[in-house]
Amino acid sequence: MNMTQEAKAPNRDMSVELLQNLLKRYGSEAVEQAKKSILDEPFEDKIVSDTLRYFMCDYWKDYATPTLLSLAHEAVRGNSRSLASVASALILINGAVDIHDDVVDRSKQKDGRPTVYGKFGEEVALLVGDALLIKGFLMLAMACRRLDREKREEIMDVLKRGLFELGEAEVIELRCRGATGVKPKDYLKVMKKKAADVEALMRLGAILGNAEKGEIEALGKYGRILGLISILRDDIIDMTLQEELRHRLEYECLPLPLLFAIQDAESHVELLELIRNGMKTDSDYARICILAGQGLKKATNYVNELVIKGNTSILDLRERKRELRLILTCLADLTEYGIPNPNGT
């Protein structure tokens, strides 16, 4: 989940600065601990060590995981200083999932940087992803040794269910690649399943904070909504970047704005022809953007509805509501990509 991009619109500078400070405050220690833990492993092969160093030092800056874990923990009156070892383990696990996803999606670049798959190839990416996954789960087991057996089992069960649901969603998503007949409601069901890992993260933070059942459920619901917003944010951004959209058309599911637009009888035939021809020219891309205009508006309106639901889900929490609301607001704000907010600001 990318929550660190720079703002370009003046009216959001303050919110983004607050968010960046939040990420640094809660995430820095865990990120450094995760980096050190895997780079200290005595790999003899230079390719392995170079790949891990590139990923951990130049590419993977996962401040979101420790921040969300800590906020969930503090929202139920826990002390997040005790979470660094758990957070660093989860950073490695999430990193492994990200590397494997890039292989599946054939993503050679993200945010202008080569992915591990793009820089080192498929085989190395898969194996280095495996190393991160193994190291992450070993670290998590070590971090949870001090907990009683019941809590350890609960934590592992929550994480297992979240990752299994995410994996299942990825498999279902494979069947949607390039398909123009996918209904938006069906796509959204799959994307909601893909948000299971964020729900699991929030639940873990609450459980480690000895939360009551209602608090765990509230934070879990918030996490599911936040994860879905993050996914749909990427869908909307991909519509504004020609090469990203071309990649989506060739290797992945069509983004939600296009699926909405295909349902429009007036643009249906022309839009399908442009998509099936592979968006070969700049003018093809420009035309797709015009035809998808209403679909883009529907998608942004839906994200705004999710923000309201996310804020509602945490109304009864005693702590950290302000920070959790800030994250929702910043993720939903896409003005830096030339997309106006649904409320017109």
- Residue 5 inside a domain? The answer is no
- Quote the strand ranges of the chain, DSSP E: 109-110, 113-114
**Whole-number Å distance between alpha carbons of 230 and 199:** 12
Please tell me the total count of domains within the chain: 1
Tell me: pLDDT of 304 over 70: yes
**Average of per-residue pLDDT across 165-192:** 95
- Residue 344 inside a domain? The answer is no
Tell me: pLDDT of 344 over 60: no
**Whole-number Å distance between alpha carbons of 321 and 71:** 9
Structural contact between residues 118 and 151, judged by C-beta atoms closer than 8 angstroms:
no
Structural contact between residues 8 and 336, judged by C-beta atoms closer than 8 angstroms:
yes
**Whole-number Å distance between alpha carbons of 304 and 302:** 5
- pLDDT bin (cut points 50, 70, 90) of residue 32 is very high
Q: Looking at per-residue confidence, does 110 or 343 come out higher?
A: 110
Instruction: Give the CATH number for residue 287.
Output: 1.10.600.10
- Residue 176 inside a domain? The answer is yes
Question: What is the pLDDT at residue 266?
Answer: 83
Tell me: pLDDT of 3 over 70: no
Question: What is the pLDDT at residue 242?
Answer: 95
- Residue 3 inside a domain? The answer is no
The 10s digit of each residue's pLDDT in 119-153 is 999 999 999 999 999 999 999 999 999 899 999 99
Token digits for 139?
A: 């670290």
- Residue 345 inside a domain? The answer is no
- Residue 4 inside a domain? The answer is no
- Residue 221 inside a domain? The answer is yes
**Average of per-residue pLDDT across 22-36:** 96
Q: Containing domain of residue 192, as a range?
A: 10-337
Question: What is the pLDDT at residue 265?
Answer: 78
**Mean pLDDT lowest among 97-106, 113-122, 256-265, 334-343:** 334-343
Tell me: pLDDT of 8 over 80: no
**Whole-number Å distance between alpha carbons of 88 and 85:** 5
pTM for this prediction: 0.93
Average pLDDT, the chain: 93
Cα end-to-end span (Å), the chain: 25
The 10s digit of each residue's pLDDT in 268-293 is 899 999 999 889 899 999 999 999 99
**Whole-number Å distance between alpha carbons of 193 and 199:** 10
CB-based burial label for 313 (10 Å; 0-12, 13-18, 19+): buried
- Residue 207 inside a domain? The answer is yes
Tell me: pLDDT of 117 over 70: yes
